[in-house]
Amino acid sequence: MFFTIYTRISLFLQHTTDMELHKCVTLWIFCLCLIGESTFEKPSSATGESQNGENGVSEFCRIDDPLCKDDNAVLTFEAIRSIHKQMDDDANGNVDVVETDGFLREDLNYHDPKAKHNSFHGDDQFISVEDLWNSWKGSEVYNWTVDEVVQWLITYVELPQYVDTFRKLAFNGSVMPRLAVKNATLTVSILKILDRSHVQKLQLKALDTVLFGPPLMSRHSHLKDFILVVSIVIGMGGCWFAYIQNRYSKEHMKKTMKDLEGLQRAEQSLHDLQQK
């Protein structure tokens, strides 16, 4: 390729003046620089991406060798790495307490993140990618079935219109981290979620669930049912008590009226007797 370009430029230079010769040489050098950049930049970029992917897989194999041959597990691990990178502001490989607090306030909009903060760190003040992966694998959400993920989608995320898609793709708990990162291919092309607000809502809810465990959906439901039953019982008891009190008051009023009438008759009789 360079030889062809050189030949053509040489032929052109033979028919030019000295002034034009200087310009053409300059143009030729400039073209060579452009061609060199386009030739060498792309392979280096591709090589960087390839090395990054290989490093991720090798790291995953080091952390969890039994799963590093599973393509779905590799994608989930990459999502966990992305979440960790999002939280690790200083990029030192560990998420410290300050970074977690800032992430909770700025990204997840928690005004008082103390409870979430404690559940995430526990006794470990520095969370590495390996720590985050092991924590995720040990969580209840990791073992969720498709039905449990669908229940989460309906109750917690409040997006029931995508239930059929989740069931069709057999999304279980192990893929939850992939929903927690920005991935247009997954959300738009695969899940067919075209509303950006729905995508953002799904991502934030999934991120919260991956980092801090399952939301108290079922417990909240049972608690609400219990409170509702107790409220109904108290309400019915109050109504019955009011009815009894009202009935007693009416009977007491009637008895009082009768007593007053008897007292008036006795007073009238006494008055009549005095007159006689």
Note the pLDDT tens digit of each residue in 241-273: 888 888 888 888 888 888 787 778 777 777 777
Residue 195: the pLDDT is 93
Helix (H, G, I), strand (E, B) or coil at 183: coil
pLDDT number for residue 20: 55
Inter-residue contact 146 to 172 (CB < 8 Å): yes
Q: In the chain, where does DSSP find H-type helix?
A: 2-13, 18-63, 71-87, 97-106, 114-121, 129-137, 146-152, 163-168, 176-179, 184, 196-212, 217-275
Q: Which residues contact 179 (CB under 8 A, 6 or more apart)?
A: 186, 187, 202, 203, 206
CB atoms near residue 241 (< 10 Å): 10
User: What is the pLDDT of the chain when averaged over all its residues?
Assistant: 77
Q: Give the residue, 61 or 64, on which the prediction is more confident.
A: 61
Whole-model pTM above 0.75?
A: no
pLDDT of residue 29: 58
In the predicted structure, residue 9 carries a pLDDT above the cut 70: no
Residue with tokens 């909009």: 109
Report pLDDT for 55: 67
Phi-psi region of 88 (alpha: psi -120 to 50; beta: other; left: phi over 0): beta
Listed ranges 33-37, 86-90, 202-206, 272-276; the one with the highest mean pLDDT: 202-206
The arithmetic mean of pLDDT across residues 99-113, rounded, is 74
